[in-house]
Amino acid sequence: MDKIKIENVSKIFGSGRHINQALKLVEQNKSKTEILKQTGATIGVYNANFTVKEGEVFVIMGLSGSGKSTLVRLLNRLIEPTSGNIYIDGENISKMNKQQLIKVRREKMSMVFQNFGLFPQRTVLANTEYGLEIRGISKEERRLKAEKALDNAGLLPYKDQYPSQLSGGMQQRVGLARALANDPDILLMDEAFSALDPLIRKDMQDELLDLQQKMKKTIIFITHDLNEALRIGDRIALMKDGEIIQIGTGEEILTNPANDYVRSFLEDVDRSKVLTVENAMIRPISINIDIDGPKVALQTMREEEVSVVLAVNKMREFKGYITADDALEASKRGESNLSNYLRTDMPTVQPDTFIQDVLSVISDSKTPLAVVREQKLVGVLIRGVVIETLSTSNEGVTEHESVS
């Protein structure tokens, strides 16, 4: 179910006449800088279109000036769109009056900023209660809700302390707890972890993912850090000069970047932490151990130019592998069944396993790895293909079809 729908949304900063001129120049593929020089208008966001599903973590990323922070502020109309429509649960908030918009902001959305936004004169508990307080929730009810949010964030013991007594990471957790205390459907997070040092930042990413497992919120997360986007996002929208260049999962963007600009973003990414075995596995060369004998095994190896074949049963369940030497020995002895020559020391791996989690296994293994889903053989993982997959940005591995 779509929680948010963005339809042809643009934001041009400037006067009316200049805005119309700027829109025409955008259509002519003029750059943001050229448009500014010619019209004095600045392209904030241009013709954004996307949907966000309920419970999804949707990451919007790009460099400074790409329009990502403008876009997230358009979602709750902190910035008014120049054109387009913004739907929340099917309601067009672009057409709402002030009172309707305030109601949506208070009841359906919460926002977490980079600078925490805590009130220094309020305790942690009072800060967490703030959103509930302005909604007119009773003192006892807001205390209970705020304490629950702090407890979820591991901050309940600090409820009577003040922000100045907390570390940066703890202050950001208070900001997150305050946003969640309202129990919003949608959480907007603008560079929420950017001000934190790397270790605390990683901890906060983990905490957000843990909270998301429990609370299943719809999250729009803004970042300039691709590794952060890949780590927490179900899908990612990459922006440049106010336009969305590509939307997809981390794997989709890594394996099929839309253009050279996207490829430049991928240069420093540790692909092993994002790509799965399914991205690197190749077609398995196999025989049916229940009916195929040594002659079939040897013929298959000759045709495929390999020295090993994997063995499956009639249900295509993985059983092991047969080497060329063993098949030749069985043939010399006149044996028709290969069961006695079946080797079972080949490691198996699931196709959705991250490559980083099998690097040590495949490095130490004397054989390839059999890729198995529900006991059925679906592919094979070879050390050389893994290395090639990690070293290329957009080339697939489907052309590799041998086991060794």
State the CATH number of the domain containing residue 38.
3.40.50.300
Q: What is the pLDDT of residues 377-395, one digit of tens each?
A: 999 998 887 877 666 544 4
pLDDT for the residue 239: 93
Mean pLDDT of the chain: 86
Mean pLDDT of the region 231-238: 92
186, 109 contact by CB (below 8 A): yes
Residue 266, pLDDT above cutoff 80: no
Same domain, 143 and 246: yes
Cβ atoms of residues 226 and 29 within 8 Å: no
pLDDT in tens, 200-215: 777 778 878 887 888 8
Q: How many independent structural domains does the chain possess? A: 2
Query: Given this model, what pLDDT does residue 391 score?
Result: 65
Domain co-membership, 161 together with 212: yes
The verdict on residue 14 lying in a domain is yes
Residue 368, both tokens: 């390839």
Domain assignment of residue 398, yes or no:
no
Number of Cα atoms under 13 Å in the Cβ half of residue 103: 8
At 186 the three-state DSSP class reads strand
Residue 11 belongs to domain spanning: 2-269
pTM confidence score: 0.67
Are 283 and 254 in a shared domain? no
379 and 335 housed in the same domain: yes
Contact 53, 229 (CB under 8 A): no
170 is a domain residue: yes
Asked if residue 189 is part of any domain, the answer here is yes
Asked if residue 404 belongs to a domain, the reply is no
248, part of any domain: yes
Contacts of 130 (CB under 8 A, 6+ apart): 119, 122, 178
Write down the pLDDT at residue 178. 86
- What pLDDT shows up at residue 268? 65
Residue 402's pLDDT band (boundaries 50, 70, 90)? very low
300 or 134: which carries more pLDDT confidence? Answer: 300
Residue 392's pLDDT is: 56
Higher pLDDT, 124 or 116: 124
Residue 308: pLDDT over 60: yes
Instruction: Please list the alpha-helical segments (H only) found in 76-197.
Output: 98-108, 124-134, 139-152, 168-181
In the listed set 269, 304, 336, which residue is the last one of a domain according to the structure?
A: 269
CA distance 167 to 28: 49
The CATH number for 301's domain is: 3.10.580.10
- Has residue 102 got a pLDDT over 80? yes
Residue ending a domain, among 212, 240, 269, is: 269
- The pLDDT value recorded for residue 176 is 82
pLDDT score, position 85? 95
Q: Among 253, 269, 285, give the residue marking a domain's end.
A: 269
129, 213: one domain: yes
Nearest to residue 243, comparing CAs of 53, 7, 26? Answer: 26
| Higher-confidence position of 329 and 230 | 329
Co-location of 254 and 283 in the same domain = no
Q: Which is more confident, 383 or 116? A: 383
| Residue recorded with tokens 């800060």 | 127
* Domain membership flag for residue 397: no
